[in-house]
Amino acid sequence: MTQDLEALNKTVPPDMDLQEFRANGHRLVDLLADHLETIGTRPLFPEVKPEAVYDDFAEPLPGQPTPLAEVIDTLEAKLLPHVTQVNHPGYFGYITPTPTPAGILADFVASALNQNLGLYSLGPAAVAIERRTIRWLADLVGYGAGAGGNLTSGGMMANLIALKLARDWASDDRTQGEGVREPMAVYTSEERHVSIDKAVDVVGIGRENLRIIPTDERFTVRLEALEEAIAADRARGILPVCIVGMGGSTNTGSVDPLRRLREIADREGIWLHVDAAYGGGMLLSRANPGVLDGVELADSVTLDPHKWFFAPLDAGAVLLKNEKRLTRSFGMRPAYLTEPQDGRGERYDYFVHGLEQSRRFRSLKVWMAFKRYGTDRIGEWVDANVAQAKRLYELAEAHPDFVTAREPDLSAVCLRYSPATVPDEELSSLHARVARRVEESGRFWISTTELKGDAYFRVNPVNFRTRIEDIDELFRFLVRVCAEAIR
């Protein structure tokens, strides 16, 4: 028996190879600093076929150990050459900004300390940093005392939590126990993010009860149509639960008239949620204040630090005007998760006031970036992206073969190549082909989308490395490749 225990002890390295950790940690920092420094010299998107990448990693589960240095060699050989360089100044695709160095290092610290934000007893200072970071985000929104929130894996999860809170509130807190017993409806614009469709499903309201309200020519929600939809539901005995306003839509960065939404919500007794997952970055803007005017009136707001606050993935946030709603919606405490030392109820346990138990220390990267760069500097990066978007809008407007969806208030621009000689039905595949050519160039990455049935390029600078010259070059490139595509 004693012998067996000794044998077992030997399988646990006495110091978990801290020498190896130290040496390879330094190497990794150098490797990544070199990688980031030379980002513009490699193709933005790897020229590799999916099968080849899958083959690179097709090996059986390792039974035997490999020295860390060799594992890192493999990363250098097989991972780094085949990443999508969202850090590249020409990356204008889905909203995944370049992360700040301070944020990157914060995630390293968070992993090393492995504080679990679910319970105060698993990380007192980490809980304090999380509470402070949420307070800072609530301050940016303009919320007063009593506000709170949860950091989440992203905007999808934040929107889901918001709809659950709205549903519970609208039922006078009966749905947590009884489930959804009466038909309920949620109202949002046709420019909403798909997370709202998924959330109404998950919280039991159902996608058929999501009222998708048309938008005007600036892609903001039509208020008369919203009011009609609410009235129609009331007449049929359906309970209006929540209006989801856009605080920066994914396609065009459109912001709904939030004050007017508040008035309607107040008159009708409905929860107002604002999805500012992307547009929340505008709260840092100095040159364009007030774009999210009225956001502070919402009952809840989604904003994603891992979008336009330049935090590395993942960090979303749902913020509440009244923090107590989190406890009303989620507040359960099983016997195996009590805080026996908490005589006066001062220990804040996030698992009681939210959906998740184990939680990453997500706030550290947001907190460290605010400390290192300050809101002024981050706001300048946001403003530079807005200026770049406006520049692209002007270039496209001035060109006879391009049209734009609308002038951007944020940094998302939708432009459409539509020369008189090309029939409308060919434009969708043309845009897809051109986007493919853009990817192959290794210099830029843009996406395509559809607005009111028409195909568009969607170009979205959210990157502090991007310069105005990159935008000019992208537009010249698009003009050339589009012309080639119709030949």
Ligand X SMILES: Cc1ncc(COP(=O)(O)O)c(C=O)c1O
What residues line the site for ligand X (CB under 6 A)?
95, 154-156, 159, 193, 195, 250, 275, 277-278, 304, 316
Report the residue number, 115 or 251, with the smaller CB distance to ligand X. 251
Q: How far is the CB of 314 from ligand X (least distance, A)?
A: 7
Q: How far is the CB of 95 from ligand X (least distance, A)?
A: 5
Report the residue number, 309 or 475, with the smaller CB distance to ligand X. 309
Report the residue number, 242 or 482, with the smaller CB distance to ligand X. 242
Q: How far is the CB of 468 from ligand X (least distance, A)?
A: 24
Q: How far is the CB of 41 from ligand X (least distance, A)?
A: 29
Separation in Å, CA 208 to CA 90, 149, 158, 196: 40, 29, 21, 12
CB 252 within 8 A of CB 404: no
Q: How far is the CB of 223 from ligand X (least distance, A)?
A: 20
Q: How far is the CB of 411 from ligand X (least distance, A)?
A: 12
Report the residue number, 120 or 309, with the smaller CB distance to ligand X. 309
Cα separation, 296 vs 139, in Å, equals: 9
Greatest C-alpha distance within the chain: 86
Cα separation, 179 vs 174, in Å, equals: 7
What's the number of CA atoms in the CB half-sphere (13 Å) around residue 261? Answer: 30
Token pair of 245, please?
């306003």
CB 227 within 8 A of CB 179: no
Q: How far is the CB of 214 from ligand X (least distance, A)?
A: 18
DSSP 187: E
Cα distance between the two ends of the chain: 81
Bond before 314 cis per omega within 30 degrees: yes
For residue 441, the SS3 value is helix
CB 303 within 8 A of CB 319: yes
Report the residue number, 119 or 366, with the smaller CB distance to ligand X. 366
Report the residue number, 270 or 277, with the smaller CB distance to ligand X. 277
Report the residue number, 89 or 316, with the smaller CB distance to ligand X. 316
